[in-house]
Amino acid sequence: MGLPRRGKVMLEEIHITDFALIDDVLIEFGAGLNVLTGETGAGKTILLQALGLLLGDRADMSALRAGKAEARVEGRLRLDDREIVVARVISAEGKSKCYLDGGLVSVSMLAGLVAPLVDLHGQHQHQALLRPASHVDYLDRFCGPEQMERRAAWSKGLSELNEVRARRAQLEKMAAEIQREKELLRFQAEEIEAARLQEGEDDELRDALEVLRNAERLKGLADAAYACIEGEEPPCALDLLRRANAGLAEAGGIDARLDELATRFTSLGYEVEEAARDLRAYTESIEMDPQRLRSAEERALLLQELKRKYGSSIAEILSYGSEARERLAEMRAASEEIDALVAGESSLEEKLARLALQMRNERKKTAKLFAARVQEELRLLEMGNAIFCVKMSERGVTGEDTYGSTGQDEVEFAFSANKGETARPLTKVASGGELSRLMLAAKVVLGEADRVPLLVFDEIDAGIGGKTAAAVGEKLARLAETHQVICVTHLPQIASRGDRHFQVRKVEDGGRTKTAVESVRGDRRISEIARMLSGAKVSDVSMRHAREMLEGAQEKSVKV
């Protein structure tokens, strides 16, 4: 779900309960310039911290008001004819919940909905201008949404490239470490495969060796047994059995009781004859073959060696060989993956190179316009002699250093406040007040470029006063004609230009200090401006001056 970025957008109110020094505060903002004033420490910045929670800022549990179970910040926004209510609740248990129109949403969703509508300039944010790394962000925002899309694509591509490089480095390191293992595995797999092992082969070979080694003895014993059964020299076992059978047959003719025995002896004769034939075949099969014995013994030695290396059985040896082949396959796959990663890395580098060139061309095209717009805003902020320019250079063209987080360009702002002076890096020339005005100028230019409807400034007036403060007030008033502006200020020149004025102060209630916020008008507002002019002691002179300042601001608004 998204919210429109065009049309009338306004933060109508913010309701804060049990947050830091705030007990219960409801602020109803208006269109134009809303100013918040009050003594130092009254809690003005706390209000903007609460607003930051609606933008997705990290919840600080220490900001929970002492003794309370939870803090709640609720904002009501008007988007054309539509009203939405967003809320953030933080509990003492460290939990944070976000709501959109009463429904629970994630912090990222809340931030995605609200943050694009608000540009919040926190205290000391102008110091960010002293970090050259942030300058490219300002320029790219001015370039527009297409440039920010390129930035997002660059960030995604760079992340992918880093992942590819890390994976390739990991695989290459592993490949170097396992090269020796690879050679050993290849030898082992080939040795096992060359043996052509069969399950149960070792048992069969053991039996065969026993026969081959005792062939001569086996043949002699078998021959002797055969000779006893059916030898050439009588009487052999079969001859004696035949005689016995003939006698029993004759006796059976006399005594029928012997017929059964005669039949049994006849069967026994057949069995003995068959056994004799089998024995003869066995003796003929026995070979005394030294070559075959030698081959079997060599095979037995090979099996013994393989068992010593790879396992106690043929099954374990075959399993070892299978695992070795699988490991080799993994290594080949890793090598192929490295090749694929190299190709992918090259493709990503080409993609990033195209993006970098597109971003560079857009930056070069836009840099002068951005500088001119900022310089014009500085002129309106009483810095007519200021020079502001954008300097660009390319990062290194080789190695990983060429890939920065925002592309292949170095962008740095240069500035000179005085006529005739060469623009130099901000860190070397800009004072605190100059930085504040420079930041305001940049915010004005960016606010117009990216059409952020709500601009929030926390002490944008740091380090300035007098005529410059009046110019800043004038600029904020002009900015408020096209944006809703919320500004925390210590300067009466700025406060007097507000369309709505809120006074922030500390009060005691029931023995506890709390922050109170009131919308001030008429004499109350005059008194607050007078306090800002003269300090804690308000005089008739400061009251008169405050009234004149407010009347002057009103006249300027009417003229516009």
Query: What is the DSSP code string of 313-361?
Result: SHHHHHHHHHHHHHHHHHHHHHHHHHHHHHHHHHHHHHHHHHHHHHHHH
In a domain, 288, yes or no: no
Q: Is the pLDDT of residue 397 over 60?
A: no
Q: 79-88, 405-414, 455-464: which has the minimum mean pLDDT?
A: 455-464
Q: What percent of the chain has pLDDT over 90?
A: 29
Count of domains forming the chain:
1
**pLDDT for 396:** 64
In a domain, 105, yes or no: yes
In a domain, 89, yes or no: yes
Distance CA 342, CA 336 (A): 10
Range of the domain at 48: 7-123+459-519
In a domain, 24, yes or no: yes
For the segment 188-206, the average pLDDT, to the nearest whole number, is 83
For the segment 213-227, the average pLDDT, to the nearest whole number, is 78
Top mean pLDDT of 201-210, 261-270, 283-292 is at 261-270
Q: How does residue 6 score in pLDDT terms, banded at 50, 70 and 90?
A: very low
For the segment 406-417, the average pLDDT, to the nearest whole number, is 91
Distance CA 73, CA 533 (A): 33
Top mean pLDDT of 14-23, 397-406, 415-424 is at 14-23
Distance CA 87, CA 77 (A): 11
For the segment 85-104, the average pLDDT, to the nearest whole number, is 91
In a domain, 295, yes or no: no
Report the amino acid identity of residue 5. Answer: R
Q: Is the pLDDT of residue 7 over 70?
A: no
Mean model confidence pLDDT for the chain: 84
Pairing of strands 500-509, 33-37: parallel
Q: 84-93, 98-107, 180-189, 542-551: which has the minimum mean pLDDT?
A: 180-189
In a domain, 426, yes or no: no
Strand order in the sheet with 424-425: 387-394, 409-416, 424-425
Burial class (CB in 10 A: 0-12, 13-18, 19+), 130: middle
Q: What Rg value do the Cα atoms of the chain yield, rounded?
A: 49
Q: Is the dihedral of CA 532, 538, 540, 543 positive or negative?
A: positive
Place of tokens 């320019």: 389
In a domain, 26, yes or no: yes
pLDDT tens for each residue of 502-549: 999 999 887 888 999 999 999 999 999 999 988 767 888 989 999 999
Give the CATH number, domain containing residue 102: 3.40.50.300
| Other C-beta atoms lying within 10 Å of the C-beta of residue 435 | 22
In a domain, 218, yes or no: no
Report the amino acid identity of residue 158. Answer: L
Q: Is the pLDDT of residue 64 over 60?
A: yes
Q: Is the pLDDT of residue 324 over 90?
A: no
Burial class (CB in 10 A: 0-12, 13-18, 19+), 420: exposed
Give the DSSP letter string of 248-279: HHHHHHH-GGGHHHHHHHHHHHHHHHHHHHHH
| Other C-beta atoms lying within 10 Å of the C-beta of residue 76 | 17
**pLDDT for 558:** 53
Distance CA 53, CA 22 (A): 15
pLDDT tens for each residue of 344-391: 889 999 999 999 999 999 999 999 999 999 999 898 888 888 899 999
**pLDDT for 162:** 92
